[in-house]
Structure 1
Amino acid sequence: MYGETTHTSAGGPSGPHRAAVSPQTAAVFGRPDGVAGSFTESPESPNDRPVPEISAPDPVLAEAFGRPAGETETLQRDPLASYGRDEAPSAPPDPWRDPESMVALADPALTAPTSAEPTEAGPRLGIRDILFGRRVSWHVLATMAVLALLVGLVGGLMGRWTAEVVSPLNSDSVRLSTGESDDDAEPRSPVANVARAVEKSVVALDVRTSSSVGTGSGFVIDENGYIVTNNHVIAMAANDRNAKLEAVFFDRRRVPARIVGRDTKTDLAVVKVDNVDNLTVSTIGNSDDLQIGQEVVAFGSPLGLDRTVTSGIVSALHRPVPLRPDAESDTDAVIDAIQTDAAINPGNSGGPLVDDDAEVVGINTAGLVPGGGSIGLGFAIPINQVVPIAQTLIRNGEVRHPQIGVNASSVRNDRVLGAQVRNVVAGGPADQAGVREDDVITSFNERTIESADELTVAVRTAKIDDTVPFTYWRNGRTFTGTMTPASD
């Protein structure tokens, strides 16, 4: 209790000692006047307390929050119940007696008849019961028989009529008519006429080495078995002793072939087959008579597809085309080519280019194929340049070429156009003709020179020891002279 303290001494605890309470403290914390005990009410006078009076609840609140009648355990009210309402159904409105009632349909004047009770099915009748059990009268059976006959008769007539009017979908008597095949019929176009005349003289040339396979073309130029082709077609066989070279004819005969001779500077070669009878020899034409726009046909085995024929026109003449060595060929030439738009692809090389008279006017040699296929720019060596080379190879096995003893490069500027001499071989034909370094040759053997390749073509188409005219440019002045090509 507030104000109590405990004192101890050596003799033991002593009783509590109450300190005196000041008047101010007693005024704040003391009991009110007239109260002797605690703050609770005195049990001796319970009736002295005021008792609150509880009035009756409002009827609306009693209905809203009171328990339903007969319920004493819960205050929850059934949400579907209607307390204080009469649960008996109200009578339907009568429009005859109640003017404010809604319009409604009255009951029908007559009630609907009730359906009769279903009867149980009797036993099923069989054929014996119908025919012999006297369950069905004989006149009914006769009527049914007549009806069945009529139905069958009508069905048969309809089927017959349908079969005659609508034709069947399938038949084993139909024969498709086709045109009669006649292998000996006349060619139906100029190209077909050329193809028939030339196809038997064209061969495919297959080269096989231990590491590669090559295919080209050629054509027969002599009944003794001589075949002309490109050098780059048989170069692998010439440089590999173990290579196998075969000629495949139009009738699928496969015959070994031998190399007679080849020329890397003109890209021409001659091979020979032995013991082959009934060879068809090609007819040689005149390439000098070709005209730009003239129709031509190319034969060969492009991409290994033998006996292939393509057609087009001569699109240009005297086109210098350089052919450089590569991994499969040692050809180093510049050809004076016939340009054609007849499709020429790898494998066409060595095949004949033929005019509309079925005469060979060139050898298919190269094509511009930047995308891997023909783009309408093919090149062929003119046959008039092929014949003397082929004859020389058959006769001697090699060919000698004219040369003038210079190296040149192409030059094109506002002063001059031609082949500029880079060096001159001492004592050579050009040196003897007075040509010096930096001279630009603009004409040779009556052929205009606009590039170094054209000079190479002009020199190689000249003849050895024949004197030819030429024109050259030096220090702004033009000079003319003569030159005699020598053998290489």
Structure 2
Amino acid sequence: MSEPEQGNGTPRSGVDDGAHRRLAPRPLHRPPVDPGQQAVFGRPQGVPGAFSPDRPNLNGHGPVQLAPPPPEALSTAFGRPRGDEGTRLQRPPVDLNGEPEVEPVFWEGKPAGDSWRDPGASAVIGPPAVTEQPDRGPQREPEPGPQLSVPELLFGRRVKPTALVLLMVAALLVGAGGGVVGWLLGRVGNPLTDGGVTLAEVKPGKERPVGSVAEIAQRVTPSVVSIEFKGASVAGVGSGVVIDGEGYVLTNDHVVAPAVQDTSAKLTVVFTDGKRAVAQVVGRDSKTDLAVIKVEVDNPTVLRFGDSDGLAVGDTVLAIGSPLSLSNTVTEGIVSALHRPVTAAGENGGPQVTYDAIQTDAAINPGNSGGALVDSSGALVGINSSIRTETGGSVGLGFAISGNYARKVSQALIRDGQVKHADMNVNVRSASAETAEGAQVQNVPEGGAADAAGIEEGDVITRVGDRMVRNAAELTVAVRDHEIGETVPVVLARQGRELTVQVTLRSD
């Protein structure tokens, strides 16, 4: 029988030789050492080991301190026999003849086929450790047992119905008692509360007399609309006033100007009830910042014009519009001043805007433009147009175009789509001197109304008709108060003398 071999060809030790005995391991084979390598890696001559006592300063710690010899009694009991220094402590067993003794295996039977007894045997996966069950024939399905009742499920056993009823009554009594105790403790904990209090309510509605701010706002607000314009590069919100049942809406020119200049923009009118309608521009007057648009609606609420010339400083007025996109906003104030000339730059390099304004301290903000300024009767007396501010918001200096002039311009725009203004055909600047204060003539175009009346360069105009002129803007609005072709007296100062000339106004 041949011996199994390992990967290096060496027979494995402890393999059965067939006679149930262990074989001794082969003798250790030491190959010869290369003298060159021994000279490099070997110990120096005369040094038998790494810890020889003749190697001073081993590892930098001085001479090796050897342990003292053991006591004589321990050496005699556990040491090697005297004179036998070469024998190892663990000696292999030998027989009586001195031959190495082979230990018999500790198992009997067939060690080669028993993987649990032979340490050198390979692992074998056996069948599962399940014994075969004897065939008992066909089995019946187990019948379901009796189901538990509710008392058995809750209490683990049967309970009499009387006991269940008593338990439920006891639980209700405990719950009711706990609620009563909690309610009493709550009342005692906060004596200031009273759960039974009922606050009184006034049944009749609040009376709003005719002429009150609430009554005027309720009546006027439906005729004031929001005007939205939105295009590829422009968007914004302004206000407007419905002035005719055919859907004509009066507003500021600077509200509709962005939508007119951008062909992609669309004007939309939004009423107080939420209805929306697309608007078309009827006419514009950029010199007075007024414009009229038209929407197709049925039976709109129309705001009637009042007499703005009948206003007095201190009269109550309401400003209605959509400031900062907040539609249907109503603010109250008074008339702060009348006939206040207002001048502003034109849109995109257009002509200068000049109009006769009503000054008010009613809050006016961006978005109010084109909205209504109404008096205490709810009549339209002005079109909110601009503010004077250093902060960008309302500081109580708002200006509205006078209602009488706005009515005149809007009628012309609805009738003709454009409007012409009376003009003296003269260029002036504001002047203030000891002798005169007014509009000083800078240039008199040849063939104009001023040239025909004999007005010369350097003259200071101080009055037009019945209206005093204190600056250049006031001269413009004073002239526009008259009709084209009308002859008006003009008072002027020339070389320290006051002169009155008759000027026949012409169209601008």
Q: Does the TM-score normalized on the shorter chain lie above 0.5?
A: yes
CA spacing shift, 1:171–1:417, aligned 2, 3 Å: closer
Question: What is residue 451 of structure 1 aligned with on the other side?
Answer: 471
CA shift at 1:291, angstroms? 0.5
Match of 2:459 among 408, 417, 439: 439
- In 1, the alpha carbon distance for the partners of 2:235 and 2:202 equals 42
- In 1, the alpha carbon distance for the partners of 2:256 and 2:428 equals 30
Q: Alpha-carbon deviations, 1:343-389, whole Å to 9, x = none?
A: 11111011110001011111001111210110101011111101111
Is residue 400 of structure 1 aligned with residue 428 of structure 2? no
**Is the radius of gyration larger for structure 1 or structure 2?**
1
- In 1, the alpha carbon distance for the partners of 2:459 and 2:396 equals 37
TM-score by structure 2 length? 0.61
Question: What is residue 299 of structure 2 aligned with on the other side?
Answer: 278
Question: What is residue 262 of structure 2 aligned with on the other side?
Answer: 240
CA shift at 1:325, angstroms? 2.0
- 3-state SS of the aligned residue for 1:392? helix
- In 1, the alpha carbon distance for the partners of 2:333 and 2:186 equals 58
Aligned residue-pair number: 331
- 3-state SS of the aligned residue for 1:266? coil
Match of 2:435 among 392, 397, 415: 415
The percentage of counterpart residues that share the same residue type is 49
The answer as to whether partners of 2:343 and 2:355 remain within 8 angstroms in 1 is yes
- In 2, the alpha carbon distance for the partners of 1:330 and 1:180 equals 59
The one-letter amino acid paired with 1:284 is: F
The one-letter amino acid paired with 1:468 is: V
Is residue 483 of structure 1 aligned with residue 499 of structure 2? no
Question: What is residue 191 of structure 1 aligned with on the other side?
Answer: 213
- 3-state SS of the aligned residue for 1:394? helix
- In 2, the alpha carbon distance for the partners of 1:383 and 1:161 equals 68
- 3-state SS of the aligned residue for 1:237? helix
- 3-state SS of the aligned residue for 1:198? helix
CA shift at 1:463, angstroms? 0.7
CA shift at 1:176, angstroms? 6.0
CA shift at 1:403, angstroms? 1.0
- In 2, the alpha carbon distance for the partners of 1:411 and 1:160 equals 87
CA spacing shift, 1:189–1:286, aligned 2, 3 Å: closer
The answer as to whether partners of 2:211 and 2:377 remain within 8 angstroms in 1 is no
The one-letter amino acid paired with 1:445 is: G
The one-letter amino acid paired with 2:261 is: N
CA spacing shift, 1:231–1:164, aligned 2, 3 Å: closer
Question: What is residue 333 of structure 2 aligned with on the other side?
Answer: 312
- In 2, the alpha carbon distance for the partners of 1:235 and 1:303 equals 18
The one-letter amino acid paired with 2:398 is: G
- 3-state SS of the aligned residue for 1:472? strand
Q: Alpha-carbon deviations, 1:195-218, whole Å to 9, x = none?
A: 011011000001112112111101
Is residue 473 of structure 1 aligned with residue 493 of structure 2? yes
Question: What is residue 247 of structure 2 aligned with on the other side?
Answer: 225
- 3-state SS of the aligned residue for 2:314? coil
CA spacing shift, 1:318–1:172, aligned 2, 3 Å: same
CA shift at 1:167, angstroms? 8.5
CA spacing shift, 1:263–1:161, aligned 2, 3 Å: closer
Q: Alpha-carbon deviations, 1:270-309, whole Å to 9, x = none?
A: 00001x2231110211001000000000000011111000
- In 2, the alpha carbon distance for the partners of 1:294 and 1:389 equals 25
The answer as to whether partners of 1:323 and 1:331 remain within 8 angstroms in 2 is no
CA spacing shift, 1:442–1:188, aligned 2, 3 Å: closer
Match of 2:354 among 292, 310, 334: 334
- In 1, the alpha carbon distance for the partners of 2:209 and 2:446 equals 61
CA spacing shift, 1:308–1:189, aligned 2, 3 Å: same
The answer as to whether partners of 2:286 and 2:346 remain within 8 angstroms in 1 is no
The one-letter amino acid paired with 2:412 is: T
The one-letter amino acid paired with 1:218 is: G
Question: What is residue 266 of structure 1 aligned with on the other side?
Answer: 288
What is the CA RMSD across the aligned residues, in angstroms? 2.8
The answer as to whether partners of 1:409 and 1:420 remain within 8 angstroms in 2 is yes
CA spacing shift, 1:306–1:479, aligned 2, 3 Å: same
Question: What is residue 89 of structure 1 aligned with on the other side?
Answer: none
Unpaired segments of 5 or more residues in structure 2?
Answer: 1-176
Q: Alpha-carbon deviations, 1:71-112, whole Å to 9, x = none?
A: xxxxxxxxxxxxxxxxxxxxxxxxxxxxxxxxxxxxxxxxxx
- 3-state SS of the aligned residue for 1:430? helix
CA shift at 1:318, angstroms? 0.4
Range with bigger deviation, 391-400 or 186-195: 186-195
CA shift at 1:186, angstroms? 3.5
CA shift at 1:460, angstroms? 1.5
Q: Alpha-carbon deviations, 1:212-249, whole Å to 9, x = none?
A: 21111011111110110110110011222211100000
The answer as to whether partners of 2:485 and 2:506 remain within 8 angstroms in 1 is yes
Question: What is residue 36 of structure 2 aligned with on the other side?
Answer: none
The one-letter amino acid paired with 1:193 is: E
- In 1, the alpha carbon distance for the partners of 2:209 and 2:238 equals 27
Match of 1:205 among 206, 219, 227: 227
1:284-433 to 2 correspondences below 5 Å: 284-327=305-348, 330=350, 332-433=352-453
- In 2, the alpha carbon distance for the partners of 1:215 and 1:487 equals 34
TM-score by structure 1 length? 0.63
The answer as to whether partners of 2:317 and 2:333 remain within 8 angstroms in 1 is yes
Q: Alpha-carbon deviations, 1:398-448, whole Å to 9, x = none?
A: 011111111000111222211110000101110011001011111112211
Unpaired segments of 5 or more residues in structure 1?
Answer: 1-154
1:109-258 to 2 correspondences below 5 Å: 166=188, 186=208, 190-258=212-280
- In 1, the alpha carbon distance for the partners of 2:217 and 2:429 equals 42
The answer as to whether partners of 1:445 and 1:462 remain within 8 angstroms in 2 is no
CA shift at 1:330, angstroms? 4.2
